[in-house]
């Protein structure tokens, strides 16, 4: 077993380690109608704030829910031909148009050795 995990739980080297499903089982059955996990989380956040580890002013979350479309049996094979020189010219043109639109000087890129 991982020694850091044992240390975190306060276990000695020869102490038995809880089964990996213990927390899940407790959450689903023993503490089903309890706020204990929310209270523990809130206490950890409070301690982190008291130690200036987090500010607690801004919260960023990502909760995008999309149906997975990752079947390895459904795909379209396409061959795309890209000419490097044309692609670079297209990028340079887009950069130049953006610079003009924002009132900036013309971009002086590297001269081609061809």
Q: Measured between alpha carbons, how far is 77 from 95 in angstroms, rounded to an integer? A: 31
pLDDT digits (tens, 9 = 90+) for 83-94: 778 878 888 888
Q: Residue 26 in contact with residue 36, Cβ under 8 Å?
A: no
Is residue 18 within a helix (H) or strand (E), and if so which, with residue range?
Answer: none
Rg of the chain, C-alpha, whole Å:
28
pLDDT digits (tens, 9 = 90+) for 14-43: 888 888 888 788 888 888 888 888 898 899
The pLDDT assigned to 43 comes to 92
Tell me: pLDDT of 113 over 50. no
Q: Measured between alpha carbons, how far is 91 from 84 in angstroms, rounded to an integer? A: 10
CA 15, 17, 23, 24 torsion: positive or negative? negative
Q: Which are the contacts of 95, defined by CB distance < 8 A and separation ≥ 6? A: 107
Q: Residue 90 in contact with residue 105, Cβ under 8 Å?
A: no
Q: Which are the contacts of 18, defined by CB distance < 8 A and separation ≥ 6? A: 9
The pLDDT assigned to 56 comes to 66
The pLDDT assigned to 39 comes to 92
pLDDT band at 110, cuts 50/70/90? low
The pLDDT assigned to 114 comes to 44
């Amino acid at each position: 077993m991982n020694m850091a995990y044992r240390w975190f739980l306060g276990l000695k080297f020869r102490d038995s380690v809880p089964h990996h499903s213990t927390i899940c089982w407790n959450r689903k059955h023993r503490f089903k109608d309890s706020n204990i996990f929310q209270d523990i989380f809130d206490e950890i956040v409070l301690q982190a704030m008291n130690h200036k580890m987090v500010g607690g002013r801004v919260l960023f979350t990502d909760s995008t829910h999309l149906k997975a479309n990752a079947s390895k049996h459904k795909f379209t094979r396409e061959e795309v031909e890209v000419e490097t020189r044309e692609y670079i010219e297209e990028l340079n043109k887009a950069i130049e148009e953006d610079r003009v639109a924002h009132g900036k000087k013309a971009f002086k890129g590297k001269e081609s050795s061809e």
